[in-house]
């Protein structure tokens, strides 16, 4: 097996300052700073997380609500800067943190495909060449010139997924998005992810559906209160996780 690290998470700690009271105007800020009254409560979302993902792996991240899964994905995709430690990624990342991020509700499907393509950093000509594929995958050909604000949430999710997976990214980050849409669409998405995986894409998945993780992943990271509880083969981790959940 090719052991080339594509994501290196190195002693990552993420702290959030939670002000005890909300200060968002200048007068209060000035007064509080002068009185040295701004107090923060520190909330540690992740503490000292270290692991590596190798090329072509599918890694699942499991954990209860508030265990830091989404924060970790956001740090890996560059949306958040870690307070300590570093993350190195090698290759293009396609984050599916939330489908349809960056859609402008007033624009049509067509315009949104190009806008969202460039939000993800794709070249315009490239999006043009994949345009038909996106329409077909999302089954929205009849709605090509309809403003997105008239869409149902399922339609938006389909469009978002189609755009985000139109390239073969080196790293695909999926955050609980597979739970949207109907049964058929979920199957379709899984099929697409499987296709990408066989094409060599590395995938990071967060999901509460443990069956889905078992089906797709080769390794699992189990987070608990911001720390790594366990990391290892899918079956071993999932078995223990299921027991602890009970």
Partner 1 sequence: MIIKRKRMILICAAFVCLVFSLWLSVWQFSADNIQNILENQKTITYPVDQLTTTGWDETEFGLMSVEENPAVTVQGEEPVYVRNILIDGSVDREVTEVTVEYTESADEPFTEEKSFSAPVEIKNKDTYLMIDRTVAGMRLELCEDIGCELNLEKIVLNPRNLNVNYQTLVLSFLLPFIVVLFALELICEREGFRKTFSSLRQYRPLLYDLVTRDIKTKYRRSILGILWSILNPLLMMLVLTAVFANIFRYQIDDFPVYYLTGYILFNFVSEATTFSMSSIIGAAGLIKKVYIPKIIFPLEKCLYALVNLLFSLIAAVIVFLIVGVQPQWTMLLFVVPIIYLFIFNFGISLILATLNTFFRDVGYLYGVFITLWMYLTPIIYPISILPGWMQSIVHLNPLYHYVEYFRAVTIYGTVPSLSENLICLSYSLIFLMIGILVFQKKQNKFIFYI
H-assigned helices in 46-152: 69-76, 109-119, 124-138
Give the nearest distance from C-beta 244 to partner 1 in angstroms: 31
> Under DSSP, is residue 233 helix (H, G, I), strand (E, B) or coil?
strand
229-236 contact pairs (CB < 8 A, 24+): 229/63, 231/51, 234/60
User: Other C-beta atoms within 10 Å of 118: how many?
Assistant: 13
Q: Which of 11, 39, 88, 124 binds partner 1 (CB under 8 A)?
A: 124
> Under DSSP, is residue 187 helix (H, G, I), strand (E, B) or coil?
helix
Q: Which 94-113 residues touch partner 1, going by CB under 8 A?
A: 95, 97-98, 101-102, 104, 106-107, 111
Nearer to partner 1, 77 or 207 (CB): 77
Give the nearest distance from C-beta 103 to partner 1 in angstroms: 9
Count of residues of this chain found to bind partner 1 when the rule CB under 8 A is applied: 32
For position 21 contacting partner 1 by CB under 8 A, the verdict is no
Nearer to partner 1, 103 or 222 (CB): 103
CB contact at 8 A, 223 and 230: no
State the residue for tokens 């998405």: 189
Name the one range near partner 1 by CB under 8 A: 43-51, 77-85, 208-216, 226-234: 77-85
For position 84 contacting partner 1 by CB under 8 A, the verdict is no
For position 93 contacting partner 1 by CB under 8 A, the verdict is yes
Cα dist from 40 to 17, 47, 119, 141, whole Å: 6, 18, 34, 51
> Under DSSP, is residue 136 helix (H, G, I), strand (E, B) or coil?
helix
Nearer to partner 1, 122 or 151 (CB): 122
Applying CB under 8 A, which residues contact partner 1? 16-17, 24-27, 29, 77-81, 93, 95, 97-98, 101-102, 104, 106-107, 111, 114-115, 117-124
């Amino acid at each position: 097996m090719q052991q080339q690290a594509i994501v290196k998470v190195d002693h990552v700690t993420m702290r959030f300052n939670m002000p005890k009271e909300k200060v968002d105007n200048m007068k209060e800020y000035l007064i509080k700073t002068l009185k040295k009254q701004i107090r923060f409560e520190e909330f540690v979302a992740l503490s000292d997380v270290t692991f590596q993902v190798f090329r072509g792996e599918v890694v699942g991240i499991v954990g209860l609500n508030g265990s830091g899964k989404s924060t970790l994905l956001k740090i890996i995709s560059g949306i958040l800067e870690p307070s300590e430690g570093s993350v190195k990624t090698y290759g293009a990342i396609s984050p599916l943190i939330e489908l349809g991020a960056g859609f402008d509700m007033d624009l049509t499907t067509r315009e949104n495909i190009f806008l969202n393509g460039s939000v993800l950093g794709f070249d315009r000509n490239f999006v043009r060449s994949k345009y038909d594929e996106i329409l077909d995958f999302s089954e929205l050909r009849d709605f090509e010139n309809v403003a997105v604000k008239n869409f149902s949430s399922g339609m938006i999710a389909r469009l978002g997924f189609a755009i985000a997976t139109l390239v073969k990214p080196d790293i695909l980050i999926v955050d609980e998005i597979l739970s949207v849409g109907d049964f058929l669409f979920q199957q379709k998405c899984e099929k697409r992810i499987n296709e990408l995986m066989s094409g060599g894409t590395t995938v990071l998945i967060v999901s509460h559906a443990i069956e889905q993780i078992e089906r797709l992943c080769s390794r699992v990271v189990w987070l608990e209160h911001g720390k790594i509880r366990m990391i290892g083969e899918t079956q071993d981790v999932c078995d223990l996780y299921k027991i602890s959940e009970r």
